[in-house]
Amino acid sequence: MRTSSTDEGVPVMPRRPLLLLLASASALMAMLLGAGSAAPSWSAPKPSRATAIAQSVSVQVLPQLAATGTAPEPASAAMSAITATFSPVAPGRRADLELLDGKRWVAFAIASQDASGRVLFTIPYAWRGLPATYRVMARSSAELPEVTSARVRTDAWGTPILSDEFSGSALTAPWDHRVQGYEVPSRRCSKTDPRGTAVGGGVLSLSVIDDPDRDDPCTFTNNQGVKQSTFYRLNGHVGTQGRFSYKYGVTAARIRFQDLRGQHGAFWMQAPVVESGAEIDVIEWFGTGSSGLSSGVWTYSGGTQTKVAETPPGDDALYGSDWAGTYHVFSVEWTPTEYVFRIDGKEVLRTTAGVSQTEEYLILSLLVSNFESLRVTSPDQLPQTLAVDWVRVWQR
């Protein structure tokens, strides 16, 4: 068959055979429709890269907030974290993390965008002995063009304004014991005592122990109005009130929790004048077999303590479960407009509720409250111990 050609060299059919083909196709369609056949279905093609709305990406580097393990280790060994946020959202789209090695970018990790358009990478703080530089990108596809973030350095948060690795053999400033007696209404059968606190081996240990000074039974009325009886206990309970407080930034602690139910471990914050700020519960744990970990915020509007934000129950299953056998880093990022709670860099709660606008101090505790004290039936089940490897606070 003879052909002619266009200027670009693409073959084209002669005019007459093409007209015959079109006529034959029209006749065939008319015959099909006359026989009662439905018209062919049609669906819109996928948007091309030229017509799709391109994504943008912002990237945030976080301090060293990830360090799991069964033994104490230096805070400087913790991993940093990078969160990339893509918009508009394209769940499942691949995101690549690249590391600047000299003058060239090298592939480092791959992840997928979640339902919120976010991607988390945990990363080494240093590369070749210096703070590392990273960027995040989504490569081009048939639907979307390539997008690349700005570069970020792991030292963006600078030197922590507080860093305590409990390297001595005694509790030192800015920490001190929170002295609270048996008169606290919610903890009638336990009190804070220095004998519940120890420092050694690079760890702060907070324990619940049998009170050696009390052999008499402790009677209290529970929240259903029923009188109950148990034995007296001492609590490990320390804080930085009057010695260190801050407003806005990131605070983190590497903690291994107690195992037994009957007491709850916590890392939390309060304002020097409690009602002027909020209670920020970075993390709470009520023992193996309980409902799990909890982060949240309490406010004091009108003199009434009210919980205004809390992690959904059971979500800790997404981040592991061996809280009594393994150290993890629990943190909160506090800004003028929101809190972001994380476990080993992974976000577990983001809220704008009850954001404190005043300085707050740090508290670490292992406490026995009325509602849980009967879960420990004998002094032989004690001590129970919460171990704190290190605490850090960053501002910028």
Chosen CATH of 56-153 out of 2.60.40.10, 2.40.40.20, 3.40.50.300, 3.40.462.40: 2.60.40.10
**Does position 25 have pLDDT exceeding 60, yes or no?**
no
Kindly write down the DSSP assignment for every residue of 304-350, as one continuous string: --EEEEEPPTTGGGGG-S-TTTSBEEEEEEE-SS-EEEEETTEEEEE
pLDDT, position 225: 83
pLDDT, position 67: 97
- Do the domains at 56-153 and 162-394 have one common CATH topology? no
Give bridge partners of residue 256 from the DSSP assignment: 387
What would the mean pLDDT of 144-152 be, rounded to a whole number?
96
**Does position 6 have pLDDT exceeding 50, yes or no?**
no
pLDDT band at 218, cuts 50/70/90?
very high
Encode pLDDT of 169-194 as tens digits: 999 999 999 988 998 988 989 999 99
pLDDT, position 302: 82
What would the mean pLDDT of 150-167 be, rounded to a whole number?
97
By mean pLDDT, which of 91-100, 246-255, 310-319 is the weakest?
Answer: 310-319
**Does position 392 have pLDDT exceeding 60, yes or no?**
yes
Q: How many CB atoms lie within 10 A of CB 156?
A: 14
Identify the CATH number of the domain defined by range 162-394.
2.60.120.200
What would the mean pLDDT of 131-135 be, rounded to a whole number?
98
**Does position 10 have pLDDT exceeding 90, yes or no?**
no
What would the mean pLDDT of 147-155 be, rounded to a whole number?
97
pLDDT band at 51, cuts 50/70/90?
low
pLDDT band at 16, cuts 50/70/90?
very low
What would the mean pLDDT of 375-379 be, rounded to a whole number?
94
pLDDT, position 291: 84
What would the mean pLDDT of 362-370 be, rounded to a whole number?
96
pLDDT, position 318: 67
**Does position 2 have pLDDT exceeding 50, yes or no?**
no
**Does position 52 have pLDDT exceeding 70, yes or no?**
no
Encode pLDDT of 229-284 as tens digits: 999 999 999 999 999 999 999 999 999 999 999 999 999 999 999 999 999 999 99
By mean pLDDT, which of 24-38, 317-331, 345-359 is the weakest?
Answer: 24-38
3-state helix/strand/coil string of 166-234: CCCCCCCCCCEECCCCCCCCCCCCEEECHHHEEEECCEEEEEEEECCCCCCCEEEECCCCCEEEECCEE
Domain residue ranges in the chain: 56-153, 162-394
pLDDT band at 223, cuts 50/70/90?
confident
Instruction: Read off the amino acid at residue 71.
Output: A
pLDDT, position 315: 67
pLDDT, position 176: 97
Q: How many CB atoms lie within 10 A of CB 364?
A: 24
What would the mean pLDDT of 83-102 be, rounded to a whole number?
97
Phi/psi of residue 98, nearest 5 degrees: -120, 145
**Does position 8 have pLDDT exceeding 60, yes or no?**
no
What would the mean pLDDT of 35-55 be, rounded to a whole number?
50
Helix residue ranges, H only, the chain: 15-34
**Does position 17 have pLDDT exceeding 60, yes or no?**
no
Encode pLDDT of 273-310 as tens digits: 999 999 999 999 999 988 889 999 999 988 899 999 99
**Does position 7 have pLDDT exceeding 70, yes or no?**
no
By mean pLDDT, which of 143-152, 166-175, 315-324 is the weakest?
Answer: 315-324
**Does position 219 have pLDDT exceeding 80, yes or no?**
yes
Helical (H) or strand (E) element with 45: none
**Does position 28 have pLDDT exceeding 70, yes or no?**
no
The SS3 assignment for 294 reads strand
Phi-psi region of 186 (alpha: psi -120 to 50; beta: other; left: phi over 0): alpha
210 vs 24, residue with greater confidence: 210
How confident is the prediction for the chain on average, in pLDDT?
87
